[in-house]
Amino acid sequence: MFFIKILITLVLVILLTEVSKRVRPAVGGILMGLPLGAGLSTYFLAYEQGIPFLLKAIPWGILGLSSSLFFSLSYYLTDRFFPHPVRIVAALRSSLVAILVYGVVSLGLRLLPLRLEIALLVTFGMIFLNLGLVRWLIPPSVKPPKTQFSLKLILVRGLVTALTIASITGMARVIGPVWSGILSAFPIVLFQVLVFLHVEEGPKVYPGIITGFAYSVMNLLVFYLLLALLLPVLGLNLTYVIVYLFSMVFLYLLNRLRH
């Protein structure tokens, strides 16, 4: 199972990074709205811990989307207001701040008297607030020049992502459904693509990823809701097939509306 997680995440990270670099970063951001990291995390949680465990975690996963929005925005703001000429240093500093913000926001959300209605209300509010901030703060994305594949970077991307997902799902029995749900929403694939675009292409490219994600995160909200509705009726595998098909159609229509 561990090696399956590595293989799947490796393919996804490579695909998204190359799409973002060779087409438009905003398109890559839209694709971040597919249930990639969240989809892999929740699938393995249900597979290993059972569907009832995942159903308890879903409302907290919805709340975790708010933490993801804070994560992406704080990454950009750190780099914008505290720039550094060395890209890897800038990316590292932005990453540390973003992870810290994600943790602090998640701890705060953990204190809420959670019901599904509260999770939806908080997340809807955060999505629209984030949209306003992103449209105000982030300039249009820039299409970077084509670059060659780097086998070393590809392997690092996939390995880091896979290890993160394996850790989240592996700790599920210890941390329980609440933190499993919150951590399932951690934007691990988004994080990987942001960092590598930042280091490889510079600060004018990766912000487009954040802009696209600000719109497509709505699909992740729908993803969690569909899981809650369909899992008890259709079971694990059929539910995920339907949810992913719906997600692709939803994001296609969203991208058409935006352009």
Residue 198 to residue 124: CA distance in whole angstroms: 29
Angle between helices 37-49 and 51-81 (to 10 degrees): 150
8 Å CB contact between 45 and 54: yes
pTM for the complete prediction? 0.84
And the tokens for 93? Answer: 């500093």
Number of folded domains in the chain? 1
8 Å CB contact between 211 and 69: no
Residue 20: domain span: 2-258
Residue 198 to residue 225: CA distance in whole angstroms: 33
The sign of the CA dihedral 181, 183, 186, 189 is: negative
C-alpha to C-alpha distances, 18 to 46, 138, 184, 216, 256, nearest whole angstrom: 30, 22, 24, 19, 21
Q: Mind listing the pLDDT tens digit of every residue in the chain (259 residues)?
A: 666 666 776 676 666 656 655 555 556 555 656 777 788 889 989 988 999 999 999 999 999 999 999 999 999 999 999 999 999 999 999 999 999 999 999 999 888 877 788 888 899 999 999 999 998 998 876 555 455 556 566 666 667 777 777 777 778 888 899 999 999 999 887 887 888 888 888 888 889 889 888 988 888 999 999 999 999 999 999 999 999 889 878 877 776 776 5
